[in-house]
Amino acid sequence: MGSRAFGVGVAVVLGALTGCAKTGPSPEEQKAADEQRDRELAEEIERTLLPYRHAIEAFLTATASGDFDAAYGMLAPAYTNMVTKEAFVERIKGNKNFQKRVEVKILRTSAQAGTTHARCVLGELGFAEIDFSTAGSTPKISSIKLGGMQALPSPP
Instruction: Tell me the domains of the chain and their CATH numbers.
Output: 28-150 (3.10.450)
The predicted pLDDT at position 32 comes to 76
As a whole number of angstroms, the distance between CA 29 and CA 43 comes to 21
What count of residues does the chain have? 156
The predicted pLDDT at position 40 comes to 74
**104-108, 133-137, 143-147: least confident range:** 133-137
The predicted pLDDT at position 15 comes to 57
- Confidence grade of residue 116 (pLDDT, cut at 50, 70, 90): very high
Q: Quick check: 114 pLDDT over 80?
A: yes
Q: Tell me, yes or no, if the pTM score tops 0.85.
A: no
Dihedral through CA 142, CA 149, CA 72, CA 82, nearest 10? 70
Give the mean pLDDT of the chain: 86
Contacts of 120 (CB under 8 A, 6+ apart): 56, 104, 105, 106, 107, 127, 128, 129, 130
The SS3 call for residue 6 is helix
Which residue type is seen at 121? Answer: V
Q: Which residues pair with 146 in a beta bridge?
A: 128, 149
Residues 37-94 have pLDDT tens digits of 777 766 676 777 899 999 999 999 999 999 999 999 999 999 999 999 999 999 999 8
Q: Which residues pair with 104 in a beta bridge?
A: 122
Instruction: Please check whether residue 152 is in contact with residue 143, taking contact to mean a CB–CB distance below 8 angstroms.
Output: yes
